[in-house]
Amino acid sequence: MDTVHGLRQMPLFADLAREELERIAPMTRAQKFGRYQVIIRAGERGAVVFLLTAGTVRVSVAGPGGKEVMVGVLYPGDIFGEMAILDGRPRSATVTAMEETEVLAIRRQDFLDFIREVPDAAAKMIITLSLRLRRMNQKAGDLAYGRAPQRVARMLLELAQGQGQPTSAGTVVEVPFTHRELAELAGVSRETFTRLLAMFQRRGLLTLKRRQLCIQAHSQLEKFV
């Protein structure tokens, strides 16, 4: 895939003219990361912003006792590392590849120059950050007030939306996470997650085999949200 085409697949650049994409393409550098390889580490100074082109990454922060807690998942088309680029402060979270992952890296100054010169890109960046903030606020609300079934159902639906593939059997999602990591993402204990997952399967809402999830009844699962 050529770089211009890859940029076109990303919401941040989707509406830009080809000439604008051709301006930013030479600024990018393709990089690959193996499973569980750290791409960004919390506390480091940010000199590069990343555009995710293939694979899945997890976003984690230090919890009680310094234990890493997963707080988000990013998919192809997402951008990360932009916060430290924009405000100049250290990275606020650690980003780790959960499978073979490919990114386009752009240096801080190149990225800042580009969004200053191209108003449409700057506007898209604001929208991207706003949507991410909305998701964070929703997650915070779920953690504060949502019941466990609501948290787990929402997390499963978000996985399906992020990388699900429609099939005749339902929406299939390749899940590169352990039960413990999925439980962290939902904000519940592993035991609670396992119990609720079994309940959803008994009701025929989904099936989970190895690391493949198939949601068979979206509307029924959405009722828990």
Tell me the pTM: 0.77
**Is residue 79 pLDDT above 60, yes or no?**
yes
- Whole-angstrom Cα distance, residue 205 to residue 197? 10
| Residue-wise pLDDT tens digits, 94-131 | 999 989 999 999 998 888 888 888 877 778 777 877 77
Measured at the CA of 149, the angle between CA 148 and CA 152, to 5 degrees, comes to 85
Instruction: State the pLDDT at residue 127.
Output: 80
pLDDT tens per residue across span 121-159: 778 777 877 777 777 666 666 555 568 888 898 889 888
Say whether pLDDT at 225 is over 80. no
pLDDT value for 101: 95
- Please say if the pLDDT value at position 52 is more than 90: yes
Within 8 A by CB and 6+ apart from 79, the residues are 10, 12, 49, 50, 51, 52, 128
Under 8 Å CB-to-CB from 135, ≥6 apart: which residues?
72
Sequence-separated (6 or more) residues with CB below 8 Å from residue 142: 150, 151, 154, 187
pLDDT at 63 over 80: no
Average pLDDT over residues 196-204: 92
pLDDT score for 30: 93
Going by pLDDT thresholds of 50, 70 and 90, the confidence category of residue 176 is confident
- CA geometry: angle at 95 spanning 94 and 96, to 5°? 120
Q: Residue-wise over 46-84: b if at least 16 C-beta within 10 A, else e? A: bebbbbbbebbbbbbeeeeeeebebbbbbebbbbbbbbb
Question: Which helix (H) or strand (E) segment is 222 a member of?
Answer: helix 218-222
pLDDT at residue 103, as a whole number: 95
Domains and CATH numbers, the chain: 3-143 (2.60.120.10), 147-222 (1.10.10.10)
Give CA 20 to chain center in angstroms: 26
